[in-house]
Structure 1
Amino acid sequence: MQTYVTDKKRKTIVITLLFIGGTIGFIDKAAINVAIIPIQKDLQLNSFESGLILSIFFFSYALMHPLGGWLTDKYGSRKILVLSIVCFSIFTASTSFAWSFASLFLFRFLFGIGEGSVFPASVRSISENFPNHERGRASSFFLSAQTFGGALGSVIIGALVVSFGWRWMFVSIGIIGVLIAWAFWVYLKSPEDTQINKEKQRQKKVSYKKLFRTKNFWKIFYTKFFSNIVNWGMISWMPSYWVSKGLGLASASTLMFIPYLTSFFMFNVSGWILDKYMAGREKYLAVAGSILSAVFLYLMFNATSVSLGILYMTLNAISIAFIGTSLYTMIIKYSAKELTGSVTGFVSFGGQISGGISPAVIGFVLTIFNGSYNAASWFLIASALAGAVTSLTIKNNGIETKENVLIDQSF
């Protein structure tokens, strides 16, 4: 039977470190979305090449997720988190040395390899340290780090790029990442880890074959895939979109603060709702989020003013927050404890593959249609609707099983 950390102080340290790690990780991977504007000019990149630069990270990042989940289950979350944060921070700083399309492409690929284990290792740490009735709030707080990182990064990255240039910006955030890795190594270890490892060794192993035969696994996998098409398409191209509407780089970067900050609060609200009122019915929050995302995307791309566009972009970001919280809460609650990292890694693999596809497709579409975002908008709307269909087919658990294992029945 799984034991959990009962010390409130210890749990606070764990979730705070995970939140900080998630924040710097998101700042690092989203920094290119602002920096790509001056990078295009300095390295003489066209829209399609820029789209490839934005996308390549997600392919290497996605490929590392299943391996990172397996490594986490084998060696523990602390070791993998520290190693990953050090690696992606070094590769972030290395981006400053890019001198051509090929070199920048290589640095972004390596950066994805470095960061790919952070997410499954973090989710595994939540599963180890929090009981079922707290996991919705713990996972939503951790997931909200990406929106907090987006809000913080949208202001900081834009200011650093304008003030010091994109090269020094990458060096600065790389140094911060190394310092955070040191904090993980020092403060994440505790006496409880030994007990957790002993319990893990006594747990019954669950076959990967059962995982892949489970219908809900693939439904969650594809729901995450389609939601990330929207999420990373928006994150990657929105700064450029607002610049095309006549805003300056600093203004466009600062405006991204609004949807990120709003989503940060809604991530945590949705986690509280899931724990208190939607146990066994988590999928309905994902369904609602997918449908609302499609509606707000349409309204945003057809807005008659920048202020309305930002409002609808913010509402879309909130909708996407509902989807992510619901899916990962289901994984943490209902997947086998000894495979939580692996399950997370495989689902995130699908989500990050779509993150690689979306920026490249949008860049290609913009090149074909001479910078027009009309076709790109329908690509994102169709993806949101596809996510609504797949999330609707997820079967609810209703009652959390004693074994709490992801098996051939529905969740």
Structure 2
Amino acid sequence: MEVEKTMNQTVEKKSSLGIVLALMAGYSMVYMDKSMISTAVIPMAQDFNLDAGQTGLIMSFFFLGYSLMQIPGGWLADKIGAKKVLMLSLGVISLFSFAFGAVSSLMLFVAIRFFAGIGHGGYPPSVTKAVASNFQPDKRTFIQSIILSTSGIGGILAFTLGTNLINANWRYGYLGLGGLFLVSMILVGIFVPKDATSDVTVSSKKIPFSQVISDRNVIVLFVAMLLLNFLLYGNMSWLPTILAQKFGLSIT
């Protein structure tokens, strides 16, 4: 019995590690995509004579799609399961990453980034759902913090691997990104289970959505995140362009 218990614990650890690594891979790609567009728009603007307003549209419509899908993405993860939404999100982003590297029209750039944002919107809430379903409550915050740390990894990949591909040809960057998203989707398909693997006690009490969005803590956190993201994504999106235009720095 003791040997069997040890073997089960070993299998469980390997399974948990696979889940975490798969979710981390997807998160890294998500943040790589968010960061890489700020560099890609520099050669794109030169190739297609785009002004700041037009490149701003390309970046803004991504966040519009992302914002619109965030709440429905969480709802879908609850309804059909985290794994399905994770794979659907990664598949959609992969498809539109390949498409972004293939088109040559401002309207198509805007539309494709909008739908890529839709794909992105389903990933973060589904990761939270997957963590909640597969790990005990005393481990969830720690696991979530490990996964969220990959936002930095995604940024590093965007401004090293992504930037070098963009420097050669910006289309290569998005073809490469689409391939990496495809690999991430396969990893999620292999390692993330469909159903909960841990004994999680779920409360049967249902809280109406109106009560959630009117909660003081939710409102305060919403405003705090909104103000933070104004600074974060505004800076991240425009700083490379400013450095290139004002100081003549190369992409690399």
- TM (norm. structure 1) is 0.56
For 1:384-399, what aligned pairs fall within 5 Å after superposition? none
Match of 2:185 among 148, 170, 181: 181
Q: Indicate whether 1:77 and 2:60 are aligned.
A: no
Q: CA deviation at 1:142?
A: 1.4
Secondary structure (helix, strand or coil) at the match of 2:248 reads coil
Equivalence for 2:144: 139
**Pair 1:77–1:196, CA change in 2 (3 A):** farther
Equivalence for 1:388: none
- In structure 2, distance between residues paired with 1:72 and 1:220: 22
Q: CA deviation at 1:97?
A: 2.2
Give the residue type in structure 2 aligned to 1:97.
A
Q: Identity of paired residues, percent? A: 28
Q: Indicate whether 1:34 and 2:39 are aligned.
A: yes
Equivalent residues of 2:69, 2:121 under 8 A apart = yes
Q: Indicate whether 1:118 and 2:119 are aligned.
A: no
**Pair 1:103–1:197, CA change in 2 (3 A):** farther
Unaligned regions of 5+ residues in structure 1, if any? 1-5, 251-411
Match of 1:149 among 144, 150, 154: 154
- In structure 2, distance between residues paired with 1:140 and 1:242: 32
Q: CA deviation at 1:189?
A: 1.6
Equivalence for 2:242: 241
For 1:223-234, what aligned pairs fall within 5 Å after superposition? 223-234=224-235
**Pair 1:194–1:230, CA change in 2 (3 A):** closer
**Pair 1:194–1:147, CA change in 2 (3 A):** closer
Q: Indicate whether 1:104 and 2:109 are aligned.
A: yes
Q: CA deviation at 1:198?
A: 9.1
Deviations 1:50-104 (A, max 9, x none): 1111111000111001100000011111111011101111001100122121111
Equivalence for 1:18: 23
Secondary structure (helix, strand or coil) at the match of 2:149 reads helix
Equivalence for 1:56: 61
Higher relative contact order (CA 8 A, sep 6+): 2
Q: CA deviation at 1:119?
A: 0.6
Q: CA deviation at 1:208?
A: 1.2
Equivalence for 1:203: 204
- In structure 2, distance between residues paired with 1:24 and 1:168: 15
- In structure 2, distance between residues paired with 1:182 and 1:227: 33
Deviations 1:290-316 (A, max 9, x none): xxxxxxxxxxxxxxxxxxxxxxxxxxx
- The runs of 4+ residues in structure 1 deviating greater than 4 Å are 194-200
Equivalent residues of 2:133, 2:197 under 8 A apart = no
- In structure 2, distance between residues paired with 1:12 and 1:195: 13
Deviations 1:98-155 (A, max 9, x none): 2121111111111111221001001111222333433332222211111110012201
- In structure 2, distance between residues paired with 1:195 and 1:27: 30
Match of 1:172 among 166, 171, 176: 176
- In structure 2, distance between residues paired with 1:72 and 1:197: 19
- In structure 2, distance between residues paired with 1:23 and 1:194: 24
- TM (norm. structure 2) is 0.89
Equivalent residues of 2:76, 2:85 under 8 A apart = yes
**Pair 1:198–1:126, CA change in 2 (3 A):** closer
Secondary structure (helix, strand or coil) at the match of 1:108 reads helix
**Pair 1:195–1:162, CA change in 2 (3 A):** closer
- In structure 1, distance between residues paired with 2:126 and 2:150: 15
Deviations 1:194-229 (A, max 9, x none): 5669965x7332221221221111111111111111
- In structure 2, distance between residues paired with 1:194 and 1:173: 30
